[in-house]
Amino acid sequence: MPVRSYPCAYFAGVVPEILAEAGNCRDAEELTGETVIPLAPFIQPEQLEGILTTGAENRQCREAAQAPEIAAIFWTRAPQLHGHAMWTKFVKRMRELAPDSE
């Protein structure tokens, strides 16, 4: 049964492991849509660093076509995390790891 059917705080702690399992960009988009986004309201500030770091470090998550949209949706659905310094580190790391556009 997908987490999106019954999102709750119980599952928020496994989000980094879920993101780490993405083996390709489509998997990353599906995993975030089915699990990470529904769990966003339950994620606590102390869990944010692990989630954002794993998402940025997994190339499949980072380079998925929908990654910017997914990050924006996550941010809007997790108001309890707004203002957390990790967001700035996450954006900086994503820019550092972005493939050259040249």
Q: What is the pLDDT of residue 100?
A: 65
> Which tens digit of pLDDT belongs to each residue from 48-97?
999 999 998 999 999 999 998 998 899 899 999 888 888 888 888 888 88
Average pLDDT over residues 18-43: 94
Secondary structure (DSSP) of 21-77: T--SHHHHHHHIIIIIHHHGGG--HHHHHHHHHHHHHSHHHHT-TTHHHHHHHHHHH
Average pLDDT over residues 6-22: 92
Give the residue from 9, 19, 5 showing the smallest Cα distance to 52: 19
Q: What is the pLDDT of residue 43?
A: 94
